[in-house]
Amino acid sequence: MPIFHRDIKSSNVLLNENKTAKLADFGILKHVPLQKGGISTAVQGTIGYLDPEYFATGKLTEKSDVYSFGVVLLELLTGRKPVRHEDDTMDYSSLVIHFQSYVGKENFLEILDQEDKTVVQELLSI
């Protein structure tokens, strides 16, 4: 029976002594019968990591955890939190929306953390 974690975020991804990633905190996981493509449920998880479709509809699918893993990857590549809060303006900004604004542009690498940008540039030149 598939298990949906529903709260994948950077603080729930742990590294062991061999640098192998392990998921933690299965407190809100959901078992979904194989015959169902998705299941409606009360939305739970951490803002910034939640799949927008799941957030809007309450329908949990296998794509929901994949989306959350993508946000964790963006965090690693950019060095930014999934949601930023500006105290002086009370504005919130989303890492995913920030990332989307760079997709397809020539300055795409500008979103990356400086160290990651160097690595990606080296890989692209190979």
Catalytic residue among 7, 25, 91, 116: 7
Burial of 68 by CB count in 10 Å (0-12 exposed, 13-18 middle, 19+ buried)?
buried
The pair of three-digit structure tokens given for residue 66, joined into one six-digit string: 């994949």
Q: Is 7 a catalytic residue?
A: yes
Distance in Å from the first CA to the final CA of the chain: 42
Give the three-class secondary structure for 55: helix
Closest by CA to 70, choosing from 104, 99, 112, 110, is 99
* Residues with catalytic function: 7
